[in-house]
Amino acid sequence: MYLSYMISLFAMVFTVLLSTVSGRAIPMHAKRATTPSNYNAGFSNIMQVVPQAQALSVSAYMPTFDPSVCSSVCDNDSKCNSFNIYVTNSPSVGVYCAYFSKSISATEATSQTTASGQLVHQSYGYVKKVQILYSSSSSITYSSMTNKPLTTATVTQGQGQTSQAGLTTSQSANYSPTTSSFVSSTVSTAVFASATATGCSVPNSMFADWCGSEFEANIEAALADKLSNIKTKNFIIPLYLYPAFWTTPGTWDWVISAIKANSNTIFTIIINPSDGPGVDSAGAAPDDYATGIAALRAAGKNVKILGYVDTNLGARAKSDVLGDIKVYASWTSSKIDGIFFDRQATASSKVSLYTTYAKAVKAASWYSSNPTIGSNPSGVCDQKYLSLFDFIVIYNDSADNLDAAIFGNYESFLAAIPEAQLSKLAWFVSEATTATARTAVLNLQAGLEAGRFYISDKTADQASMAQIDTAVFNAALKQVGTPTFS
């Protein structure tokens, strides 16, 4: 008994001495830390911190251990997605907060000392719950876990910055944009069965950069919502092949077969007789094109046919562009549905010119009273162009370059686009394989609510002049027509 008593007494004295190092008392109440509202606990009561070289900033000494003080600072910084609050005990005692742009977890807390050489006594990490950047329904659900396989965890819509939620098993919440608060909720694990990748909860992800980005939130939201946001299901084919129906198979047969077999997908077919309608085609389509247009119409009602018009980045003579529109519109026996403007200018100074072109198309007579107008800047353009056209080809490059584009020069452009206009963006992805054909469509559907695609195994230069590989074509068509994570 005496020995036990002395051991207990020694432990009490040691604790008192330890808690008064350098004249400051260590906040012994840290173990009772309360997780701030709108945050998840990333880790608790460990003796390591996340390396501070990765931090946005580190606070000055704080007199008390209070995570809510740190969360207030993080909430007021749009770049801040998590914070690490910790206590030091040597050579001096203090409480500090380090703020990070990324989600943090215990696996990243590897340093036993701070950047200034302080020994860490207690350390806690907290991660912001997510607010979905692109969302259209207050019932959209989001699911995420940090460095763990995906299980039950949801957060619903709100406008603003996003971060990886870092939810733990069975935690869930609904974000209310009205009250800016999270309310407890639950969700079935069944819809998450296919998402089991450790460290990133984006299923079938094609690109590493989707993880931890605002697009990850949208992909996961679509997963929980079964991609029901995808209203547009449109496969665009620049069919610049000459319509040879006397060969076996005919050069357009593969397109006609696809139209017949995929009635749930709209096919937008761009024809290009001669870098435009051709100089001798006023009043009627060239004979073989008339045959081809008739064959496309007979294949199904799920087809729109557009005539190719080059604008040379706005440098082509206005009279020539308007002349091409007039010729296409004159094909009274082989009416098409509208115009596709290639090599669209990107600067705001040319918007008025393209407004003239769009008005000319709408004023003419077409197959239907509501013509379809598309354009191809093949990159970022002034946002005002989106109001002129039904779709704009925002990307025309290889599958391998898509990741770098979205998380490079496209990122600020995409973030600024109103949600209602996201579906106007068309994605021409070349050099795809059977696997990347499907995953490119999936990621773009879920991350950006994309609905208009052209996917080819050929290079961008060859894609409009060659039949798509059958396996690649079918993989892409299946995902476009029936958006799914399965």
Considering only residues 153 and 249, tell me which one the structure prediction assigns the higher pLDDT: 249
Residue 275 lies in a domain: yes
Q: Which domain holds residue 56?
A: 27-128
Q: What per-residue confidence (pLDDT) applies to 485?
A: 63
Are residues 77 and 218 located together in one domain of the fold? no
Are residues 329 and 392 located together in one domain of the fold? yes
CA distance 448 to 182: 24
Residue 117 lies in a domain: yes
Q: What is the CATH number of the domain that holds 61?
A: 3.50.4
Are residues 285 and 316 located together in one domain of the fold? yes
**Highest mean pLDDT, choosing among 19-33, 64-78, 367-381:** 367-381
Find the mean pLDDT for residues 395-403. 87
Are residues 335 and 275 located together in one domain of the fold? yes
**Highest mean pLDDT, choosing among 107-111, 128-132, 143-147, 440-444:** 107-111
Residue 260 lies in a domain: yes
Q: Write the pLDDT tens digit of every residue in 158-208.
A: 222 233 333 332 223 333 333 333 333 322 222 222 222 233 444 444 445
Residue 3 lies in a domain: no
229: pLDDT confidence band, cut at 50, 70 and 90? Answer: low
Are residues 119 and 244 located together in one domain of the fold? no
Are residues 264 and 402 located together in one domain of the fold? yes
Chain-wide mean pLDDT for the chain?
A: 75
Residue 4 lies in a domain: no
Q: What per-residue confidence (pLDDT) applies to 274?
A: 92
Residue 212 lies in a domain: yes
Are residues 315 and 278 located together in one domain of the fold? yes
Are residues 241 and 337 located together in one domain of the fold? yes
Residue 155 lies in a domain: yes
> DSSP alpha helices (H): ranges in 300-373?
318-329, 351-363
Find the mean pLDDT for residues 340-344. 97
Residue 453 lies in a domain: yes
Helix (H, G, I), strand (E, B) or coil at 292: helix
CB neighbour list of residue 28: distance below 8 Å, 6 or more residues apart: 19
Are residues 184 and 253 located together in one domain of the fold? no
Are residues 290 and 329 located together in one domain of the fold? yes
Q: Which of 405, 322, 397, 406 minimizes the C-alpha distance to 364?
A: 322
331: pLDDT confidence band, cut at 50, 70 and 90? Answer: very high
Are residues 375 and 273 located together in one domain of the fold? yes
Are residues 343 and 220 located together in one domain of the fold? no
**Total residue count of the chain as it appears in this document:** 486
In the chain, how many domains are there?
A: 3
Considering only residues 170 and 122, tell me which one the structure prediction assigns the higher pLDDT: 122
Strand partners for 126 = 41, 83
124: pLDDT confidence band, cut at 50, 70 and 90? Answer: very high
Q: Write the pLDDT tens digit of every residue in 74-121.
A: 988 878 888 999 988 878 888 999 999 887 888 889 999 998 888 988
